[in-house]
Amino acid sequence: MITKAAQMHEDVIIKQTSVNAKKACRHIMQVNTSNKVLLGATQGIGNAILTTPLIQALGSLKLKVDILKGGFIRGAEKIFEGMPNVKLLDEDEIEGRIYLLGLQTIWPYPGLEKFVAQLRIAGNIFDMWKAGIPAHEVDVNMSLAYSLKYEGEIPPLYCHYEPVELPTGANKKIIGIHVCRKYSHQFYANRKLVNPYFIAEALHEEGFEVVMFGHKDSITDGYKQKYPDFNYFDELTLPQVAGLVKELDCVINEDSGIMHVTAAMDTPQVTIFGPTSWMKNRAWSDKAMLVRKDIDCLTCQYTERQSNCYSNICMDVSPSHILKCTKDLLAKFPK
C-alpha cells in the first residue's frame, strides 16, 4: 500500500520530469529553426582552404556558417576573408547564439559540443583508407554537406587574395618556386624541395622569368647575392602570396599550404610529393601535375620511418625533370 506522503512525492517527481521534457523540446525547436551552423575547423593554411568547398555547399543550402577563431595556425584564418555567409568568432562571441547544429571537419575544434545541441562529425579518413576508399580531405569534409541533402557538385576552393605586381619580361613565362621555411620538426623538414635554386637555374637557362617566394627566413641575402637574376618576394602577407600566385604562369610546389593556395588561385603547378600521402593531401586542381619518385619506403606519413628519416631522397627530383614537367604543363594550360 502506498502512503499519501509517498504518493505525493511520486506525483512531484513525475510533474517535474514532464516540465523538464517540455523545456528540452522547446530548446530543440529553437535550435532547429536556426539557419546557422557552427563549423569546427583547425590547423594550417591548406587545411583551412580544404574546408571552403564545404562552406560554399552549406551556403547553397541557405545556411550561414560561424567558425571559431582559436584553432588556426600561421594566419590561416585570413583564407576566409571576404567569403560570403561566413563569420569568424571568438568563443565569448558564440555564447548565447542558436545553431541548427555543429559540424566537425576532418580537423575538429575541441569542445565544440559546448555551444551546440546537436553535433555531426566528418568520417575518419584513416578508416576510409582501410576500407579501400582513396579519400581526400575535401571528400571527407564534403560528406557533411551531402549528409544535409546537398545534391550538387563539389564547389571550387576559395582563398582571399590581394593583387601583387609581377616583373614583366619580354614575352617570358613567369614561373614561381615556393621556398619552404626552415622547420625544426622533421615532419615538415622532410617534404621541402631539394635545391630549389638549382631548379630555378634550369628554368632561367631555358628562358623563363623566375620568382622565388617564401618566408623571409628561407630566402637569405646570401641567396639573393648568389642568384641575382631571380625575382624575390619574401615579405608578403598570406593574401599577397595568393595574389602573387594568381598572376604566375606556373608554380613549383612541395606538399604545403601554398600548394593549396595555388590550387585555389587556379594556377598550374608541378607538385613534388615525398613522405606525405598524395591521396589525402594532393592539390585539388585539374591543373596540378603530381611528381613522385619510385621508392619502396613511400608513403611514410604518420609512421616512425618518417620521423627518423633525414636523407630527404624522396624529394630530390632532378631539375631537368621538373623543367620538362613545367613545359608540358604550360603547353596544356597556357595563360
Residues 6+ apart with CB under 8 A from 276: 191, 255, 299, 301
Predicted TM-score of the model (pTM): 0.85
Give average pLDDT by consecutive 10-residue segment, the chain, 335 residues: 46 48 53 82 95 97 95 93 96 89 94 92 78 83 94 96 84 91 56 84 96 88 93 94 97 92 97 76 91 66 61 77 95 91
pLDDT of res. 297 = 59
Distance of alpha carbon 174 from alpha carbon 179, whole angstroms: 16
Are 330 and 250 in contact, with CB atoms under 8 Å apart?
A: yes
Rounded to whole angstroms, the Cα distance separating 38 from 283 reads: 26
What pLDDT is recorded for position 192?
A: 72
pLDDT at 256: 86
Q: What is the pLDDT of residue 251?
A: 98
What's residue 124's pLDDT? Answer: 78
Q: What is the 3-state secondary structure (H, E, C) of 108-129?
A: CCCCHHHCCCCEEECCCHHHHH
Q: Which residues, including other chains, have CB under 8 Å from residue 135's CB and lie 6 or more apart?
A: 123, 125, 128, 129, 279, 280
